[in-house]
């Protein structure tokens, strides 16, 4: 504190006439400490004010999402219900032929699990990796519940010889550890084969990588289209006199306030083959009655409906930025000899970038997670990865798989966000 070279410190010391060099308040306490105390009090009060929101976000957002993501690498469906066999796997390295001890552990676990009614959980877990094994577990469980005699290997093979399948044992070994990366492997169309090395799944089972690519490609495309469509509208809104622009603004906001489902359904009515647009085209003679266009239940339908729904998210940030741009800059550029294109490109457009960045980021991130619109109008070629996540959540009930897909999606979005930050700078973003 008492730095002789610091002019302020010198003045303060002189003014208070004290020799220890510290500033003091009127009642003689060191100023720095008093200030720190009053500031920490203010900070604590401020913290108390945000505490409800913080708690709300923690409880309703961070914790559930964390729990959900945890499922993507943690599934104890097998290990918790088959402890003896899991133990055996832990003690014997991969490649060990299952001996009678292993079979005995399997029989004991099956029996206990069948009695505890958890055999379905075990079977479901293994069924993820070896399809068709769920009923092997449940039917064997029903039989061993009545009792099973050693030698266990012979007894279990007697019940169903599928128990000798090396792929099944390999899958059980994989599942014996609750922490697993296998769901992530499956989410990128990979699997572990019997020797434990990673291979691609059969071509006809491959679906996720393609859907991830399609999701990102379509989201980019939709972001691009909303930009092309939204930019002139935002410009018009920003430059028209207030009364007219307010009227136009209502036209932008009205659909924004309408239910998503209503808008999606309206697009069905408009675009379907026997729909309004096709009817008009046929009536005008543009197309023949047999040449009706397929505009919905495919990728085109997804793009059209999503573009419409996401358009306000591009227009609003652009508009708010354009409103603040001083028109005299462009006038100055023109008066200095710039063509209108040059004035737009070099003077006007760069100033809209913060709004464009915000709009593009909003539209892209929303598009990546879109679910209900592609489900309804996407047909077979307009499905996105979120539809697969929903399917695993509600149909196959494989929540670990849903969580792995969702985690990958989240990771990819965060990565893109980081790239965006490096390229454009997140400080450069203006939401309104």
- Positions in the binding site for other proteins (CB under 8 A): 116-121, 123-124, 127-128, 131-135, 138, 204-207, 210-211, 214, 272-275, 297, 375-376, 379-381, 383, 388, 391, 393-398
Q: Given the complex with other proteins, which of 125 and 430 has the nearer CB atom?
A: 125
Dist CA 85 CA 104 (whole Å):
8
Q: Given the complex with other proteins, which of 271 and 318 has the nearer CB atom?
A: 271
Output the smallest distance, CB 380 to other proteins, in A: 4
Output the smallest distance, CB 360 to other proteins, in A: 27
Output the smallest distance, CB 238 to other proteins, in A: 41
Q: Given the complex with other proteins, which of 124 and 223 has the nearer CB atom?
A: 124
Q: Given the complex with other proteins, which of 351 and 396 has the nearer CB atom?
A: 396
Output the smallest distance, CB 378 to other proteins, in A: 9
Output the smallest distance, CB 136 to other proteins, in A: 8
Output the smallest distance, CB 33 to other proteins, in A: 50
Q: Given the complex with other proteins, which of 27 and 202 has the nearer CB atom?
A: 202
Q: Given the complex with other proteins, which of 203 and 427 has the nearer CB atom?
A: 203
Output the smallest distance, CB 206 to other proteins, in A: 6
Q: Given the complex with other proteins, which of 260 and 332 has the nearer CB atom?
A: 260
């Amino acid at each position: 504190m008492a730095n002789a070279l610091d002019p302020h410190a010198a003045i303060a010391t002189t003014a208070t006439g004290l020799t220890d060099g510290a500033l003091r308040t009127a009642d003689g306490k060191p100023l720095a400490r008093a200030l720190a105390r009053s500031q920490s009090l203010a900070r604590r009060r401020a913290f108390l004010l945000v505490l409800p929101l913080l708690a709300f976000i923690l409880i309703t957002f961070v914790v559930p999402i964390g729990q959900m993501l945890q499922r993507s690498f943690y599934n104890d469906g097998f290990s918790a219900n088959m402890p003896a066999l899991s133990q055996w796997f832990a003690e014997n390295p991969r490649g060990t032929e299952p001996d009678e001890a292993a079979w005995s552990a399997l029989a004991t676990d099956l029996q206990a699990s069948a009695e505890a009614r958890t055999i379905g959980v075990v079977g479901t877990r293994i069924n993820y990796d070896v399809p068709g094994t769920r009923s092997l577990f449940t039917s064997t469980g029903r039989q061993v519940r009545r009792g099973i005699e050693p030698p266990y290997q012979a007894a279990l093979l007697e019940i169903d010889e599928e128990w000798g399948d090396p792929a099944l044992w390999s899958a059980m070994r994989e599942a014996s550890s609750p922490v697993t990366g296998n769901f992530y492997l499956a989410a990128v169309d990979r699997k572990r084969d019997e020797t434990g090395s990673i291979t691609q799944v059969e071509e006809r089972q491959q679906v996720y990588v393609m859907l991830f690519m399609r999701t990102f490609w379509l989201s980019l495309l939709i972001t691009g289209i909303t930009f092309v469509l939204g930019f002139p509208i935002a410009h018009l809104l920003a430059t028209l006199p207030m009364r007219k622009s307010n009227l136009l603004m209502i036209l932008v906001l009205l659909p924004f306030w309408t239910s998503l489902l209503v808008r999606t359904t309206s697009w069905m009515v408009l675009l379907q083959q026997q729909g309004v647009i096709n009817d008009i085209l046929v009536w005008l003679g543009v197309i023949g009655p047999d040449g009706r266009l397929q505009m919905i239940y495919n990728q085109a339908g997804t793009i059209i409906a999503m573009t419409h729904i996401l358009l306000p998210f591009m227009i609003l940030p652009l508009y708010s930025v354009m409103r603040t741009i001083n028109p005299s800059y462009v006038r100055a550029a023109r008066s200095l000899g710039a063509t209108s294109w040059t004035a737009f490109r070099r003077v006007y457009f760069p100033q809209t970038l913060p709004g464009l960045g915000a709009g593009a980021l909003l539209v892209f991130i929303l598009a990546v997670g879109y679910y209900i619109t592609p489900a309804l109008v996407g047909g077979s070629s307009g499905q996105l990865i979120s539809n697969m996540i929903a399917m695993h959540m509600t149909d196959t009930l494989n929540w670990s798989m849903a969580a792995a897909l969702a985690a990958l999606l989240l990771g990819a979005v965060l990565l893109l966000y980081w790239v965006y930050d490096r390229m454009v700078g997140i400080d450069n973003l203006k939401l309104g």
